[in-house]
Structure 1
Amino acid sequence: MRTLLLVLLLFAPALQAEPLANRLRHHPSPYLALHGTDPTAWQEWNAETVARARRENKLLFVSLGYFSCHWCHVMQKESYRDPEIAAFLNAHFIPVKVDRELDPALDAQLQAFAEATRGQSGWPLNVFITPEGYPLFALLYAPPAEFLQAVQRLAARWDEEGPQLARLAREAALPPPPPLTVEARFAPAIGVLYQQRLVEEALAHADVLQGGFGKVSKFPHAPQLAALLAIEGRKPNPRLAEFLRLSLDQMARLGLRDHVAGGFFRYTVDPDWHTPHFEKMLYDNAQLAAVYLDASRLLARPEYRDIAYETLDFMLENLRDVSGGFVTSTSAVDEAGREGGVYLWDKAELARLLDAADYSLVERIWGLGEPPSFELGYLPMARIVPTAAETARLRAIHARLKAERARRGLLRDEKLLAGLNGLALAALARAAQDEPRYRPAARAVRDFLVQRLMTDQGLRKGIASGQVLGPADLEDYAYVAEGLLAYALLDESLGDRERARTLVTRAWDLFHGPHGWTLDTQPLLARPYYQRIVPDGATPAPAAVLIRTSWRLGGKPLRTRALRALNVGYEILDQGVFWYATQVAAMGEIQ
């Protein structure tokens, strides 16, 4: 009897542990809710989950993705819904699903870990983290057999060598950088030097035949384009201007842009801009609308203004919510799960919708004589540059196809995020300076941000499924403040200027200190992630946006902080400036 009692006491914690169960079915994030029926027992990333990993001495399997990520959905279908793989993950790990748009700070830290350990990053990103909170191993998309083999090997090694692996992860973690005392000074000549380097580096990496950057796939790189345009505006460079025109022409003419209903896709998988992944992101379109507006003036190309307006109209028609804010994205797949199903056309459908003359025109311009690049058909694009008369006819054809396409189901990520709406507000306010019809939309998103997400306690992250999300992070504060300042300039609103100042001041207090920048206020990993300067990603570096907004707002306290933040990180910039384009652009504003 005493032996039985001793056994029960020894194993009581295990017997009392609640079995893992999927907790995402009713999550407000549409992306996480999509995983709510997976057999993988997904947990949320929170203190409770980390505590459970420590109690059970299990590795956390943290998988990051987002609603519009094509390969995230592929891996879900192939692996996370596979009963054998799910059972193994549930037995040996604490599986955690993260919407990277809700936790960009965690995503940035784990992307940096993947880049450092694998030489590449992206989504889906899967990182195994020790119970103490140190990243151990990262992998990206992998076919199911390869993925299962990898997790089986790691589980076996953790069972056999757990303490050693935990020590290696702990020792590999970078310590916080030493604290700095920085003078509030910045020589404009330094900014000129780094702007020159950015131009040289960009042109060295430029695809001078097809435009853009890269030899395998093509992303729009909106932060870099915006910075290069700003430099071109200050000191014209014929070679740079030619490259910018080429890039913007190719992006608008070929497969990166939706010629039927407007808006830009996330990227193309080929260097020729022909074959996109079909997700459309609010952040890309807001930034590119602003880029084309600037380019129309700086490069003397009035047609770019039309592309900017078309992009904003896409946002208003397809991404606007009844609240006045904008949702996050549209999916690459249609309601039937077919990639590009909303955007592609087969010849029979086109022949039914168009008369012989119009069909002949699109056949020549779109390249219908060639085999289709997609299983579902052809993507409208100008493989041959149309004449002015043909352009007018194509507009009418696109309007007819747009009406037909409206019957197809377009899936949206309905989250309303503060930072991304700040980017949209900045673009709309800029457009409204010349085109008054955008004023009401700018006012509506301004009201959404001010009335729904700004509180006396600070900025909220956003709203999803009617629920207000938690505290905002650095990118939310930076982008909303810049958007409010842009709107204040449009509306001559002292109140919104002061709101921007309040957000900027709070952001400095929350996210910047002697060790550098942090991206959030509630990290759960073992060590905070500090950065001397923050790189650009698909969106501009939020720290650099905060610096330039502080400078534009003026006043000694904010400008002092901006100068101190610019006066560090030269050793990083000296290794390459392409990924710090917004930081370099901020330097150019200091006179």
Structure 2
Amino acid sequence: MANRLASATSPYLLQHKDNPVDWWEWSDEAFAEAERRDVPVFLSVGYAACHWCHVMAHESFEDETTAAYLNEHFVSVKVDREERPDVDAVFMAATQALAGQGGWPMTVFLTPDRRPFYAGTYFPPRARQGMPAFADVLAAIASAWRDRRDEVLSSVAHISGELERRHAPKLPGEVTRAGLDVARANLQREFDEVRGGFGGAPKFPPSMVLEGLLRLGDDESMAMVDVTCEAMARGGIYDQLAGGFARYSVDAGWVVPHFEKMLYDNALLLGVYTHWWRRTQNPIGERVVAETVEWLVAELRTPQGGFAASLDADSLDEQGHSAEGAYYAWDPVGLTAVLGEDDGRWAAEVFGVTDQGTFEHGRSTLRLLGDPDPVRLASARERLRTTREQRPRPGRDDKVVAAWNGWLIASLVEAAGVFGRPDWLALAREAAELIWRVHWVDGRLRRTSRDGEVGSAAGVLEDYAAMTMAAVRLGCAEADATWLTRAEALAEVILAEFGDGDGFFDTASGAESLYLRPQDPTDNATPSGLSATVHALALLAETTGRSDLAERAERAAATAGGLVDRAPRFAGWLLAYAASRLVSPPVQVAIVGDASDTGTQELARTAYRCAPAGSVIMVGVPDEPGLELLADRPLLDGRPTAYVCRGFVCRLPVTDSQELADQLHSPKE
């Protein structure tokens, strides 16, 4: 018999609907039940693609004895961290303070008034490797709550006070050119010159840092970008058969990934590789962009036109057991069985598949070691991919997250412009229309939907910022004032509901009150809400000419500007913002002409390829209503014409793409 989670919209919660645990969703009713029964709350936080979440679920939450003990002594609450990032952020801070580390599954014990007093991550069913058995943890917590309540409540007060003192150091400061030099030098000290990336294992794709270095654009910065982008694209973290990046590499050389594939990584890296190709024309960049879009459409696109959250790390192996990486790994025998003796040996060398294996059980991840004959490579990849598609597939978390779709929409619009792919622009438009149609409810943004039905979780700062950026990019690319109006509506909610004076909170003023209001200025796997908002407001200001938005972006950036030189690995998008202001300021490019005209298309492609990062590129007919950038911009001699502007003061119009490129490479008067 299914539990309460059967009515959830989150695929992660639905994975637990048949557990014998009497789960509740995060709700006032759950905590009222804990108060009524005078028992603590057991909070379990995870996400659908999380390997160890599945392990703990199988070992403990599917176990009748464990479930019975939980049901008797606790109110058990299950949270999808992707649906409720505010809950995740607040209790991850508590977990890190209490346990010394964090991760998922996250296990937290709370009082009925939502204050934490004990926390950890994965607990095994039997004690091992210094980890206590989950049953022993439950018994100890239940005993302490029953027999030593005063100690528990005293601990709660101490923990809450300690967390408030630790909360969100902002490191304010204006970023200067000298500060950019310090940031670059600090990144160089942590840079892996041989394998790319920063620091040691595990290695996460440094998407935001790469964006900052691309905008700095000097030789030292580009060297770090070049090595890292190529290493990731050739590594096992990238799916060499179908495209798309895994979440991170467990080793320092990008060889073996943690196999789940997240929409946010691929959305952000799509932008990075587009911008890398724009700067270098490295063919690897173009290949990665095309393959990643193809993979996104094939694997993550939903019937409603949005993009799903993730693919699982696990799938069934040949014995029918759930195993991490089973879908992706190969051994030499498997290659030969598909490709034949000669091509099998050749593919093993090309893809780094060894007899010993680079992964588990003699299997290897596929890497691209060199640049083999492209025809032979394409044939081998297609045959291997066709065979792999017959294997049991990883599960998909098909909820649509507003922020992650927003970042993808913005990246798709730019990639469509750079590579001249109107079909990619259509993908961006359909995803944006879904978000606006389903997630925009009563003048506010909801965070998630599934199967076209909106969830109840309120949008957080990153959702509003990402969708503001997406709406601006789409409105400019299609000369559609409706999207710019929507972008301004999103921005007005940010200013009214999320501000703290100069900076921003991660949750709205009317959001559920937790014991801390989240406000983290640091980039991690995704941009911080603060840094995303800085970019969104700045881009909207560039498009509309609203100086109040530009000034607000500057003030917000200054609340955490000290992170740029002191901790640049966690401030990549603030580094990118500062570089755009101090190194190569953005411009507005107005291109007037019929969108179907080859001359208009060539000017647009040149603008997307040559304009400084963060620039606004608008393509449409002259005097399109509601679009100030196209006002009083006539065609020159009846030909498609480009105007390069800064602050809506434009240089002489040009009709030749080379002349446009020359102006963009030297945009000053």
Q: TM-score, normalised to structure 2's length?
A: 0.78
Contact 1:208 1:243 in 2 (8 A): yes
The one-letter code sitting in structure 1 at the alignment partner of 2:559 is V
Instruction: Give the 3-state SS of the residue equivalent to 2:459 in structure 1.
Output: coil
Q: Does 1:371 align with 2:362?
A: no
How far, CA to CA, are the matches of 1:136 and 1:275 in structure 2?
Answer: 36
Contact 2:8 2:14 in 1 (8 A): yes
Q: Does 1:263 align with 2:263?
A: no
Does the C-alpha gap of structure 1 residues 193 and 512 become closer, same or farther in structure 2, counting only changes over 3 Å? farther
Does the C-alpha gap of structure 1 residues 79 and 575 become closer, same or farther in structure 2, counting only changes over 3 Å? farther
Does the C-alpha gap of structure 1 residues 40 and 473 become closer, same or farther in structure 2, counting only changes over 3 Å? same
Q: Does 1:417 align with 2:396?
A: no
Q: Does 1:398 align with 2:385?
A: no
Contact 2:12 2:397 in 1 (8 A): yes
Report 1 or 2 for greater relative contact order, CA contacts < 8 Å, sequence distance ≥ 6.
1
Give identity over the alignment, percent: 31
How far, CA to CA, are the matches of 2:468 and 2:559 in structure 1?
Answer: 23
Instruction: Give the 3-state SS of the residue equivalent to 1:304 in structure 2.
Output: helix
Does the C-alpha gap of structure 1 residues 34 and 225 become closer, same or farther in structure 2, counting only changes over 3 Å? same
Does the C-alpha gap of structure 1 residues 313 and 556 become closer, same or farther in structure 2, counting only changes over 3 Å? same
How far, CA to CA, are the matches of 1:406 and 1:319 in structure 2?
Answer: 15
User: Deviation at 1:546?
Assistant: 1.1
Q: Does 1:141 align with 2:128?
A: no
User: Deviation at 1:186?
Assistant: 8.3
User: Deviation at 1:283?
Assistant: 0.7
Equivalent position of 2:342 in the other structure:
357
The one-letter code sitting in structure 2 at the alignment partner of 1:468 is V
Equivalent position of 1:428 in the other structure:
412
Instruction: Give the 3-state SS of the residue equivalent to 2:264 in structure 1.
Output: helix
User: Deviation at 1:536?
Assistant: 1.1
Instruction: Give the 3-state SS of the residue equivalent to 1:43 in structure 2.
Output: strand
Does the C-alpha gap of structure 1 residues 195 and 56 become closer, same or farther in structure 2, counting only changes over 3 Å? farther
Does the C-alpha gap of structure 1 residues 207 and 392 become closer, same or farther in structure 2, counting only changes over 3 Å? same
Aligned partner (choices 425, 432, 442) of residue 446 of structure 1: 432
Aligned partner (choices 493, 497, 500) of residue 487 of structure 2: 500
The one-letter code sitting in structure 2 at the alignment partner of 1:266 is R
Equivalent position of 1:22 in the other structure:
3
Does the C-alpha gap of structure 1 residues 318 and 213 become closer, same or farther in structure 2, counting only changes over 3 Å? same
User: Deviation at 1:148?
Assistant: 2.2
Equivalent position of 1:580 in the other structure:
571
Please identify, of 71-80 and 152-161, the stretch whose mean Cα deviation from structure 2 is larger: 152-161
Instruction: Give the 3-state SS of the residue equivalent to 2:108 in structure 1.
Output: strand
Contact 1:518 1:528 in 2 (8 A): no
Aligned partner (choices 251, 275, 288) of residue 307 of structure 1: 288
Aligned partner (choices 544, 547, 558) of residue 556 of structure 1: 547
Does the C-alpha gap of structure 1 residues 151 and 186 become closer, same or farther in structure 2, counting only changes over 3 Å? closer
Contact 2:201 2:249 in 1 (8 A): no
Instruction: Give the 3-state SS of the residue equivalent to 1:588 in structure 2.
Output: helix
Does the C-alpha gap of structure 1 residues 570 and 444 become closer, same or farther in structure 2, counting only changes over 3 Å? closer
Equivalent position of 1:6 in the other structure:
none
Equivalent position of 1:481 in the other structure:
468
Equivalent position of 2:328 in the other structure:
343
Contact 1:475 1:542 in 2 (8 A): yes
User: Deviation at 1:290?
Assistant: 0.8
User: Deviation at 1:573?
Assistant: 6.1
Q: Which segments of 5 or more consecutive residues in structure 2 lack a partner in the other structure?
A: 127-131, 583-669
User: Deviation at 1:428?
Assistant: 0.7
Aligned partner (choices 333, 344, 349) of residue 314 of structure 2: 333
Equivalent position of 2:517 in the other structure:
529
1:47-88 deviation per Cα after TM superposition (whole angstroms, max 9, x unaligned)? 111222222332211111101111111111112222232222
Does the C-alpha gap of structure 1 residues 221 and 129 become closer, same or farther in structure 2, counting only changes over 3 Å? farther
Aligned CA-pair RMSD: 2.6
The one-letter code sitting in structure 2 at the alignment partner of 1:203 is Q
Aligned partner (choices 486, 491, 496) of residue 509 of structure 1: 496
How far, CA to CA, are the matches of 2:311 and 2:266 in structure 1?
Answer: 12
Please identify, of 272-281 and 143-152, the stretch whose mean Cα deviation from structure 2 is larger: 143-152
User: Deviation at 1:90?
Assistant: 1.9
Does the C-alpha gap of structure 1 residues 479 and 408 become closer, same or farther in structure 2, counting only changes over 3 Å? same
Contact 1:194 1:584 in 2 (8 A): no
Equivalent position of 2:532 in the other structure:
545
User: Deviation at 1:567?
Assistant: 3.0
Contact 1:341 1:376 in 2 (8 A): no
How far, CA to CA, are the matches of 1:186 and 1:523 in structure 2?
Answer: 29
How far, CA to CA, are the matches of 1:149 and 1:98 in structure 2?
Answer: 23
Does the C-alpha gap of structure 1 residues 222 and 280 become closer, same or farther in structure 2, counting only changes over 3 Å? same
Equivalent position of 2:68 in the other structure:
87
How far, CA to CA, are the matches of 2:451 and 2:480 in structure 1?
Answer: 32
How far, CA to CA, are the matches of 1:192 and 1:53 in structure 2?
Answer: 55
1:503-530 deviation per Cα after TM superposition (whole angstroms, max 9, x unaligned)? 0111221222249533234655642324
User: Deviation at 1:265?
Assistant: 0.8
What does 1:159-198 align with in structure 2 at a 5 Å threshold? 159-174=146-161, 190-198=175-183
Does the C-alpha gap of structure 1 residues 224 and 114 become closer, same or farther in structure 2, counting only changes over 3 Å? farther
Equivalent position of 1:17 in the other structure:
none
What does 1:449-460 align with in structure 2 at a 5 Å threshold? 449-460=435-446
Equivalent position of 2:653 in the other structure:
none
The one-letter code sitting in structure 2 at the alignment partner of 1:486 is R
Aligned partner (choices 176, 181, 185) of residue 200 of structure 1: 185
Instruction: Give the 3-state SS of the residue equivalent to 2:415 in structure 1.
Output: helix
The one-letter code sitting in structure 2 at the alignment partner of 1:509 is A
How far, CA to CA, are the matches of 1:429 and 1:501 in structure 2?
Answer: 19
Q: Which segments of 5 or more consecutive residues in structure 1 lack a partner in the other structure?
A: 1-19
Q: TM-score, normalised to structure 1's length?
A: 0.88
User: Deviation at 1:299?
Assistant: 3.9
Equivalent position of 1:231 in the other structure:
216
Instruction: Give the 3-state SS of the residue equivalent to 2:277 in structure 1.
Output: helix
Instruction: Give the 3-state SS of the residue equivalent to 1:546 in structure 2.
Output: helix
Does the C-alpha gap of structure 1 residues 530 and 347 become closer, same or farther in structure 2, counting only changes over 3 Å? closer
How far, CA to CA, are the matches of 2:365 and 2:229 in structure 1?
Answer: 19
How far, CA to CA, are the matches of 1:482 and 1:113 in structure 2?
Answer: 32
Equivalent position of 2:629 in the other structure:
none
Contact 2:502 2:555 in 1 (8 A): no
The one-letter code sitting in structure 1 at the alignment partner of 2:576 is A
Please identify, of 448-457 and 324-333, the stretch whose mean Cα deviation from structure 2 is larger: 448-457
Aligned partner (choices 98, 109, 121) of residue 117 of structure 1: 98
1:441-495 deviation per Cα after TM superposition (whole angstroms, max 9, x unaligned)? 1221122122232244222223124431123221211111111112122212222
How far, CA to CA, are the matches of 1:116 and 1:516 in structure 2?
Answer: 25
How far, CA to CA, are the matches of 1:214 and 1:154 in structure 2?
Answer: 38
Does the C-alpha gap of structure 1 residues 417 and 83 become closer, same or farther in structure 2, counting only changes over 3 Å? same
The one-letter code sitting in structure 2 at the alignment partner of 1:69 is C
Contact 2:332 2:355 in 1 (8 A): no
Contact 1:230 1:585 in 2 (8 A): yes
User: Deviation at 1:409?
Assistant: 3.4
How far, CA to CA, are the matches of 1:173 and 1:516 in structure 2?
Answer: 23
Length, aligned pairs only: 557
Aligned partner (choices 201, 204, 207) of residue 222 of structure 1: 207
Instruction: Give the 3-state SS of the residue equivalent to 2:25 in structure 1.
Output: coil
Equivalent position of 1:469 in the other structure:
455
Equivalent position of 1:60 in the other structure:
41
Please identify, of 358-367 and 373-382, the stretch whose mean Cα deviation from structure 2 is larger: 373-382
How far, CA to CA, are the matches of 1:571 and 1:217 in structure 2?
Answer: 26
Does the C-alpha gap of structure 1 residues 107 and 192 become closer, same or farther in structure 2, counting only changes over 3 Å? farther
Contact 2:212 2:576 in 1 (8 A): yes
Contact 2:466 2:536 in 1 (8 A): no
User: Deviation at 1:400?
Assistant: 1.4
Contact 1:251 1:273 in 2 (8 A): yes
Contact 1:257 1:263 in 2 (8 A): yes
Contact 2:354 2:364 in 1 (8 A): no
